[in-house]
C-alpha cells in the first residue's frame, strides 16, 4: 500500500516537473536553438496526458488529479527565476480630480511580506493573455485605490515594466527606465454619486 | 534471484530504520513557519481574503479562477459560506481562520494533539493559499508540501507533549524511515529540476540573473552601489547556484559530500533570506532541508534492526 502510494505520488511530482521544464524550454530564451521548440512542446503535451490535462475540464479523473496535486502542493514545478529572472512590473494610478488636479498612487500594502506577494500579482497581471481578465484585475486594484481617494472622478491605471540596468550599464551611470505596456481608464464619477 | 535481490534493495532503500528526530524538526519548523506567515500577513489579512469590493483583488474572483481547475480545491470561501449560515459576518470569519491557524501552529509547536493540529493547519493553509492564489509564490507551495507530509507522517514524535503526557506510543522506525525517505526524494527532485531550469538560461552563467534578482524591487534589500563592488563574483555565484541545485540529488546522499552540500544549500537559502528579504521562503527551505537531511548529519544515530526488534516487542 505504502509503496503504491509512493509510486503514484512520485510519478505525479516527476510528471509535473517534466511538464514545467519542457514549458520553460519551449517558451523562454535558452541555450537551445528555437528549432527544438516543437520537441519541447511535444514533451509538454505528452507529460500533460497522464496528469489528465487533455480530458474535459469537468471529467472527474482530471478534477481528482488536480485536487490531489493542489492538496499535496505539487501542482507546479520548481523553475523559480528560471531560465532567466523576469521583468519587474509596476502599476501606477493617475487620479483625476474635478478641480483638474492629478495625483499619482501606487498600490499600498501594510507589510513587506504582502509587498512580495503584490509583486507576484503584478507579474500575473502583466503576463495574463486573456484581456478581459487582465482588465478586471486592474479595475479591482483601481477600485481599492479609489476607496482611499473618493474625491477622484476617474483613474488611469498604467501597467508597465521597469528595465533595470545590467552591471556594466549601472557602472556607466545608467538608471532604471519605465516602459508602459497597457493603460486603462476607469470612470468613478457615478460610483461617487451612488456612494453619497 | 536477481529480481529478489533488487526487491530487497528497494525495500531497504524505501524503509530504512530511522529515529523520529526528522519529524520533530519538521513539526517545529512548520509550526514556526505558519506562525510567521500569520504574523507577517496580519495587517493585510482582510485585504488579501475579502470578497468583492473589499480587498485588493476579490477572493471571489481568485477562487473562481482556481476552482475552474477543480471544484474540490479547498478555499476560504467554503468557510465564509459556513460562517454566514451561522450568522457570522465576513470580518469575523476571516479573523476566526487567522486565529485557528495560529492556534493550530501553537499546538504543533508544543506537540499537543499533533495529528489533528497537522490536519487543521494543512487544510486552513491550503484554503488561504488557494483563495489568494494570485498573490502566491514559491513559499506557499513549499509550505503545502511540508504540511502534507507532516499530516501523513507517523505522529506523534517522542519530543511532542502528546508522547510525554499522554504516553502515546512512538511509531515504528521503518515507517519513520519511509516518510523521511519520501521527503528526501522530493527535495532531490525540487533542486534537480530547479537547477536544470536555471542552467539552460544564459543569465545564470554570466551573473546577470543574480544581479537582476538582487536589484529587482521589492527584493532589492542591498543597494546596487554596494553590489557592484562584487560584480566579478556574480558569475561565479550564479554558476555555483546551478551546480549546487542540479548536483543536489547526486551529492546529498554520499556521507562524505553530504555535509558540504547541505551546508552550501542552507547557506544559499540564508543568503536569499538576508539579501532579498525573503525570510519566509528561506525559513521553509531550511526547515525542509534540515528535516530531510539534517538528523544524520548532526550525529543522530540510526536505529539498528536489533534495537528496532527490542522496541517493537
Dump pLDDT digits (tens) for B218-230. Answer: 899 999 999 999 8
- Among A122, A109, A191, smallest CA distance to A162 is for A122
Do residues B313 and B305 make contact, with C-beta atoms less than 8 angstroms apart? Answer: no
User: Which 3 state secondary structure label does DSSP give B228?
Assistant: helix
Q: Does A76 touch chain B if contact means CB atoms closer than 8 Å?
A: yes
**CA atoms of B108 and B157, how far apart (whole Å):** 11
Q: How many CB pairs under 8 A join A and B?
A: 206
Interface with chain A: mutation pick from B15, B55, B64, B198, highest number of A CBs within 10 Å = B198
Q: Given this model, what pLDDT does residue B313 score?
A: 39
Q: Give the length of chain A.
A: 196
Which residues on adjacent β-strands are paired with residue A89? A161
| Secondary structure element (H or E) that encloses residue A182, with its range | strand A177-187
**CA atoms of B123 and B126, how far apart (whole Å):** 5
Do residues A97 and A103 make contact, with C-beta atoms less than 8 angstroms apart? Answer: yes
Torsion-angle region of B299 (φ positive above 0: left; ψ -120 to 50: alpha; else: beta):
left
Instruction: Tell me the ipTM for this assembly.
Output: 0.92
Q: Does A32 touch chain B if contact means CB atoms closer than 8 Å?
A: yes
Nearest CA in chain A to B141: A73
Nearest CA in chain B to A76: B141
Q: What average pLDDT is seen over chain A?
A: 91
User: What is the 3-state secondary structure of A36-80?
Assistant: HHHHHHHHHHHHHCCCCCCCCCCCHHHHHHHHHHHHHCCCCCCCC
DSSP A95-143: EE-TTS-EEEE----SSHHHHHHHHHHHHHHHH---HHHHHHHHHHHHH
pLDDT above 90 covers what percent of chain A?
70
Q: What is the pTM of this model?
A: 0.93
Backbone angles phi, psi at A40, to 5 degrees: -65, -40
Which residues on adjacent β-strands are paired with residue B66? none
Residues of chain B where predicted confidence (pLDDT) is lower than 70: 1, 53, 169-171, 298-313
| Secondary structure element (H or E) that encloses residue A89, with its range | strand A88-96
Q: Does A79 touch chain B if contact means CB atoms closer than 8 Å?
A: yes
Q: Given this model, what pLDDT does residue B299 score?
A: 54
User: CB–CB of A117 and B136 under 8 A?
Assistant: yes
Interface of A with B in 92-111 (CB under 8 A): 107, 109-111
Do residues B152 and B179 make contact, with C-beta atoms less than 8 angstroms apart? Answer: yes
The C-alpha cell at B194 is 530547479
pLDDT class for A190, splitting at 50, 70, 90?
A: confident
The C-alpha cell at B91 is 470580518
User: CB–CB of B194 and A80 under 8 A?
Assistant: yes
Residues of B in contact with A88 (CB under 8 A): 216-217
pLDDT above 70 covers what percent of chain A?
97
Residues of A in contact with B74 (CB under 8 A): 71
Interface of A with B in 128-147 (CB under 8 A): 136-137, 140-141, 143-144
User: Which 3 state secondary structure label does DSSP give B111?
Assistant: coil
- Among B294, B264, B269, smallest CA distance to B279 is for B269
Q: Given this model, what pLDDT does residue B1 score?
A: 67
Name the minimum distance, in Å, from the CA of A99 to any CA of chain B. 27
Alpha carbon of B178 to those of A26, B12, B46: distances in Å?
A: 36, 10, 40
**CA atoms of B141 and A137, how far apart (whole Å):** 23
User: CB–CB of A9 and B182 under 8 A?
Assistant: yes
Backbone angles phi, psi at B260, to 5 degrees: -65, -50
Do residues B51 and B185 make contact, with C-beta atoms less than 8 angstroms apart? Answer: no
Do residues A157 and A186 make contact, with C-beta atoms less than 8 angstroms apart? Answer: yes
Q: Of A1-5, A54-58, A134-138, which range is least confident?
A: A1-5
Name the minimum distance, in Å, from the CA of A165 to any CA of chain B. 9
Interface with chain A: mutation pick from B15, B49, B61, B69, highest number of A CBs within 10 Å = B69
Q: Does A31 touch chain B if contact means CB atoms closer than 8 Å?
A: yes
Q: Which residues of B261-297 are buried (b: 16+ CB within 10 A; e: fewer)?
A: bbebbbebbeebbebbbbbbbbbbbbbbbbbbbbbbe
Interface with chain B: mutation pick from A39, A55, A116, A165, highest number of B CBs within 10 Å = A116
**CA atoms of B141 and B151, how far apart (whole Å):** 15
User: CB–CB of A77 and B48 under 8 A?
Assistant: no
Residue A122's contacts (CB-CB under 8 Å, 6 or more residues apart) are A89, A90, A91, A159
Q: Is it true that the peptide bond before A62 is cis, omega within 30 degrees of 0?
A: no
User: CB–CB of A116 and B42 under 8 A?
Assistant: no
Name the minimum distance, in Å, from the CA of B4 to any CA of chain A. 16
User: What is the largest distance, in Å, between two alpha-carbon atoms of chain B?
Assistant: 68
**Count of CB atoms situated within 10 Å of the CB of B116:** 14
H helices of chain B, where?
A: 2-14, 21-41, 45-49, 59-69, 76-85, 90-110, 114-131, 138-152, 161-165, 173-199, 203-206, 208-215, 224-227, 234-251, 258-276, 279-297, 305-312
Name the minimum distance, in Å, from the CA of B162 to any CA of chain A. 25
Q: Does A150 touch chain B if contact means CB atoms closer than 8 Å?
A: no
**Count of CB atoms situated within 10 Å of the CB of B148:** 21
Q: Given this model, what pLDDT does residue A125 score?
A: 93
Please give the angle made by the CA atoms of B66, A93 and B64, to the nearest 5 degrees. 10
Q: Given this model, what pLDDT does residue B309 score?
A: 46
**CA atoms of A181 and B283, how far apart (whole Å):** 35
The C-alpha cell at B183 is 521527503
Q: Does A116 touch chain B if contact means CB atoms closer than 8 Å?
A: yes
**CA atoms of B63 and A186, how far apart (whole Å):** 24
Average pLDDT (A116-127) is 92
Q: Given this model, what pLDDT does residue A194 score?
A: 53
**CA atoms of B267 and B252, how far apart (whole Å):** 15
Amino acid at each position: 500500500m505504502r509503496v503504491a502510494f509512493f509510486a503514484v505520488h512520485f510519478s505525479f511530482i516527476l510528471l509535473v516537473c517534466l511538464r514545467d521544464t519542457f514549458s520553460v524550454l519551449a517558451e523562454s530564451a535558452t541555450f537551445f536553438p528555437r528549432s527544438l521548440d516543437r520537441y519541447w512542446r511535444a514533451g509538454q503535451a505528452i507529460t500533460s496526458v497522464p496528469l489528465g490535462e487533455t480530458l474535459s475540464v469537468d471529467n472527474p479523473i482530471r478534477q481528482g488529479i488536480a485536487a490531489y496535486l493542489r492538496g499535496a502542493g505539487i501542482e507546479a514545478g520548481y523553475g523559480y527565476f528560471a531560465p532567466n529572472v523576469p521583468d519587474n512590473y509596476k502599476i501606477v494610478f493617475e487620479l483625476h480630480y474635478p478641480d483638474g488636479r492629478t495625483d499619482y498612487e501606487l498600490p499600498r500594502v501594510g507589510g513587506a511580506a504582502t509587498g512580495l506577494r503584490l509583486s507576484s500579482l503584478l507579474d500575473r497581471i502583466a503576463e495574463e493573455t486573456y484581456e478581459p481578465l487582465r482588465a478586471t484585475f486592474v479595475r479591482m486594484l483601481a477600485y481599492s485605490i479609489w476607496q482611499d481617494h473618493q474625491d477622484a472622478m476617474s483613474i488611469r491605471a498604467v501597467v508597465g515594466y521597469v528595465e533595470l540596468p545590467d552591471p556594466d550599464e549601472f557602472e556607466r551611470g545608467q538608471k532604471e527606465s519605465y516602459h508602459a505596456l497597457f493603460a486603462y481608464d476607469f470612470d468613478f464619477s457615478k460610483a461617487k454619486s451612488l456612494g453619497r | 534471484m536477481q529480481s529478489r535481490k533488487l526487491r530487497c534493495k528497494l525495500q531497504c532503500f524505501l524503509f530504512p530504520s530511522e529515529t523520529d528526530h526528522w519529524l520533530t524538526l519538521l513539526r517545529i519548523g512548520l509550526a514556526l513557519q505558519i506562525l510567521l506567515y500569520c504574523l507577517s500577513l496580519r495587517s493585510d489579512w482582510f485585504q488579501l481574503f475579502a470578497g468583492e469590493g473589499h480587498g485588493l483583488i476579490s477572493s471571489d474572483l481568485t477562487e473562481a479562477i482556481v476552482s475552474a481547475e477543480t471544484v474540490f480545491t479547498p478555499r476560504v470561501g467554503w468557510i465564509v459560506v459556513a460562517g454566514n449560515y451561522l450568522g457570522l459576518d465576513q470580518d469575523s470569519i476571516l479573523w476566526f481562520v487567522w486565529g485557528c491557524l495560529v492556534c493550530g501552529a501553537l499546538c504543533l509547536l508544543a506537540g499537543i494533539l499533533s495529528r489533528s493540529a497537522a490536519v487543521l493547519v494543512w487544510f486552513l493553509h491550503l484554503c488561504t493559499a488557494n483563495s489568494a492564489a494570485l498573490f502566491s509564490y514559491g513559499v506557499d507551495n513549499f509550505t503545502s508540501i511540508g504540511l502534507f507530509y507532516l499530516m501523513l507522517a507517523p505522529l506523534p514524535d517522542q519530543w511532542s507533549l502528546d508522547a510525554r503526557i499522554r504516553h502515546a506510543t512512538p511509531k515504528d522506525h521503518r515507517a519513520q524511515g519511509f516518510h523521511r525517505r519520501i521527503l528526501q526524494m522530493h527535495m532531490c527532485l525540487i533542486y534537480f529540476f530547479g537547477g536544470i531550469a536555471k542552467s539552460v538560461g544564459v543569465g545564470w552563467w554570466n551573473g546577470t540573473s543574480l544581479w537582476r534578482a538582487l536589484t529587482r524591487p521589492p527584493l532589492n534589500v542591498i543597494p546596487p552601489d554596494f553590489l557592484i563592488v562584487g560584480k566579478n563574483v556574480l558569475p561565479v555565484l550564479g554558476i555555483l547556484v546551478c551546480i549546487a541545485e542540479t548536483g543536489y540529488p547526486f551529492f546529498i546522499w554520499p556521507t562524505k559530500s553530504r555535509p558540504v552540500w547541505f551546508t552550501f544549500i542552507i547557506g544559499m537559502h540564508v543568503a536569499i533570506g538576508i539579501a532579498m528579504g525573503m525570510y519566509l521562503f528561506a525559513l521553509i527551505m531550511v526547515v525542509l532541508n534540515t528535516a530531510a537531511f539534517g538528523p544524520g548529519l548532526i550525529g543522530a544515530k540510526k536505529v539498528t534492526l536489533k534495537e528496532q526488534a527490542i522496541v517493537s516487542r
